Amino acid sequence: MTPTENPAFRTVVGIMAACASIDSWMRAHLADKGADIILPGMTEVLVLVDVLRSRVSVPLIDSNLAYAEHAVGADPIIAMLATCKRLEANGPNAVVIPCNTAHAFVSSIQRQLDISIVNMLSEVIAFAREKMPEVSRLGLLATAGTITSRVYHSTAEAAGMTLLVPDASVQARVMESICGADGVKAGFNSGACSSHLAAAIAHLRDQGAQAVILGCTEQPLIELDAETR
């Protein structure tokens, strides 16, 4: 879906692929140039949102969610495929993509490769099936993009398992634990991010989850007490 087809978004006049070193002046400059929406090119940029909020008068869009919904910005498949092709040319036996959100595009990329992509999601579900055969209801804590893409849902359902996800308010806390000012991507692994993650795990357990997948690469770095784990 293009921005003009999606009433939830105004036309994107300026989109900037950014890294965490981009400062607030650069963001304000884009708005001054007439950008209606700014789409950071890396999830890590979202840790700057609190700083930028006072300087930028236009929305900052979570790129994980935007890419997974195909709502805003270019489809990343071309860039991902090009990278996989370069890896393939070096003669590996397989390609590993250690990003849960990126798995929304793995099936499209795999068709263009002569070597296999190790599907992290399939491996997680297979591990749960083998090590915890009594578990049929799995909880998932991940980025909004991963959940929206439903790639974990289809993998779990194919294995005969039910996948549970947080409600909107708890999902907001999950995103805070990952991308917030005190989140794991900002370099924290205790404090607020631990509280958010522990609350989300408790929420899924209350829904009936027998085990919980930490479905974002950095989440296992967050400290949790023994009882929560």
pLDDT tens per residue, range 39-54: 554 444 444 444 554 5
Flag whether pLDDT at 79 surpasses 70: yes
pTM for this prediction: 0.66
Is the CATH number of domain 120-221 1.10.1040.50? no
Cα dist from 180 to 5, 118, 162, 198, whole Å: 30, 30, 29, 15
CATH 3.40.50.1860 residue ranges of the chain are 120-221
Q: Please give the single-letter amino acid code of residue 76.
A: P
Cβ proximity of 10 and 37 under 8 Å: yes
CB-CB neighbours of 137 under 10 Å: 15
The chain-wide mean pLDDT, for the chain, equals 77
Contact 71, 99 (CB under 8 A): no
| Banded model confidence at residue 201, pLDDT cuts 50, 70, 90 | very high
Q: Is residue 21 pLDDT above 50, yes or no?
A: no
- Active-site residues, by number, are 99, 216
pLDDT, tens only, 112-155: 999 999 999 999 999 999 999 999 999 999 999 899 989 999 99
Say if strands 137-141 and 162-164 run parallel, antiparallel, or are unpaired.
parallel
Decide: 93 and 115 in contact? Cβ < 8 Å: yes
Report whether pLDDT(71) > 90. no
- How much is the pLDDT for 157? 94
Name residues whose C-beta falls within 8 Å of residue 41's C-beta, 6 or more positions apart in sequence.
Answer: 16, 17, 18, 19, 63
pLDDT in the model for residue 78: 79
Q: Which residue has the tokens 């308010």?
A: 169
